[in-house]
Amino acid sequence: MTLTHTVRPYESYVYAYPHKTAYRPLAGQPGGRPALSELWAGERKDALSLYLHIPFCEVRCGFCNLFTRIGAPDELTSRYLDALDRQASAVRDALGDGEPVRFAAAAFGGGTPTFLTAGELERLCDIAEKRMGADLRSVPLSVETSPSTATADRLAVLAERGTTRISIGVQSFVEAEARAAVRPQHAADVERALGLIRDTSIPVLNIDLIYGIAGQTERTWRASLDAALRWRPEELYLYPLYVRPLTALGRLSAGEADAAWDEQRLRLYRAGRDHLLAHGYEQVSMRMFRRADAPRAEGPDDHACQTDGMIGLGCGARSYTSRLHYSFDYAVRMGEVRGIIDAYTATVDFSRAEVGWYTDGEETRRRHLLQSVLQAGGMPVDGYRERFGTSPYEDFPEELARFEARGWLDLQAPAEGLLRLSPEGLAYSDALGPELFSPAVRAAMAAYELK
């Protein structure tokens, strides 16, 4: 199958907008480092999302450019949790008690949260509950794990503390492909971990798989999909492989991806999508597939990522208010990551935002459109108009006209009151998303110096 456009389908994965490479130190901007109490004053706090970031892994995969380091010597995890506790106390004080503070969802990510011991995971949950006031047993709680760290004692803690979803990065059930992705693992360890997860009371299992690995074929891709389906996961995420700067694969790569690789990834994406749809899964986004008969997570259903705030704890987490997205410094190179983690663990005063990006009305519109339209269900146009007083067709006429000309929009959706991508538009999500970035964000990301 040939590409239907000259547009490359894999520009970048838009999991948040703007990307952290657009963030800048706030100390050098008007107003300097704002106090968190000022940032959160006047913000709605009745449906917040809570994210705790653990920046440790046993190994670093060849494709990974996440903020994480290998190992944690000299009781580093204890010192990190001490700092996380201090940060949580400062953030909760900044939220104040003038109005109810409620968390509608929670997640532990990384890195690998289950790099922590069972006892340390207990402490992590205590920080979320006792410091932040999140009721982990009554809201959806998602936790990431890996085959080597999904042990019975760790999983028992997570299940007892209210985890509703566990996500395990398998990437490939074919050992040769795992090695090609610089991800050392054995199929037996993967199967053992999945068996332990299924032995718990955690209701939702998600398995991450990657397509586009060197040497991967439709036959081996189908083998990985079928191996995953044997566990009847409630969710499956299918990720295209990216080769990013400063990663192990980036150092091994001879250059940028070419058209043949784009062809391979698109072919495998479509084969994987069709295979899952034929096996009773629904497509939620380009990456996410949910088993049609899977239980939905119980808990508040009023959190909306487009409008509600997010509290991120940990040196790789980001937080969102209506006017500022903020975090700590970002890096990929191991030496830089270690330095940032060390600085974080030594921090005493967490009362101010350090690095971020101020969002104006246009940026808020872009973020709302991005986070809505990249979902398979589409975006209710009336909801957009109710929030902004305008239509997305008025605000983004050139972009939407271009998407329509490429066949990326579902032309039947307006009759349903929706702006929705076509199946081809979903396939090109990683090209469509970046085209909605503002010129200012593009310029900031281009000027970012990799480290």
The answer to whether residues 316 and 345 touch, using CB atoms and an 8 Å cutoff, is no
- Per-10-residue mean pLDDT for the chain, 451 residues long? 66 88 90 94 93 84 59 87 98 93 94 94 98 96 95 98 96 87 81 97 95 92 97 96 55 56 94 98 97 74 65 94 91 81 94 94 93 96 96 97 97 97 97 96 90 68
User: Residue 95: its pLDDT value, please?
Assistant: 97
361, 250, 325: which is closest to 22 by C-alpha?
Answer: 325
User: Residue 118: its pLDDT value, please?
Assistant: 97
User: Residue 28: its pLDDT value, please?
Assistant: 81
User: Residue 333: its pLDDT value, please?
Assistant: 75
439, 390, 383, 447: which is closest to 416 by C-alpha?
Answer: 383
SS3 of the chain: helix, strand, coil, percent, to 5: 40, 15, 40
Helix H or strand E encompassing 106: strand 103-110
The answer to whether residues 284 and 294 touch, using CB atoms and an 8 Å cutoff, is no
User: Residue 303: its pLDDT value, please?
Assistant: 47
User: String of b and e for 160-199 (b: at least 16 CB within 10 Å)?
Assistant: ebbbbbbbbbbbbbbeebbbbbbbebeeeebbbbbebbee
3-state secondary structure 115-168: HCCHHHHHHHHHHHHHHCCCCCCCCCEEEEECCCCCCHHHHHHHHHCCCCEEEE
Within 10 angstroms of residue 334's Cβ, the number of other Cβ atoms is: 13
Residues 117 and 261: their CA atoms lie apart, in Å, by: 40
User: Residue 65: its pLDDT value, please?
Assistant: 55
User: Residue 124: its pLDDT value, please?
Assistant: 98
306, 319, 312: which is closest to 23 by C-alpha?
Answer: 319
Within 10 angstroms of residue 230's Cβ, the number of other Cβ atoms is: 10
The answer to whether residues 147 and 189 touch, using CB atoms and an 8 Å cutoff, is yes
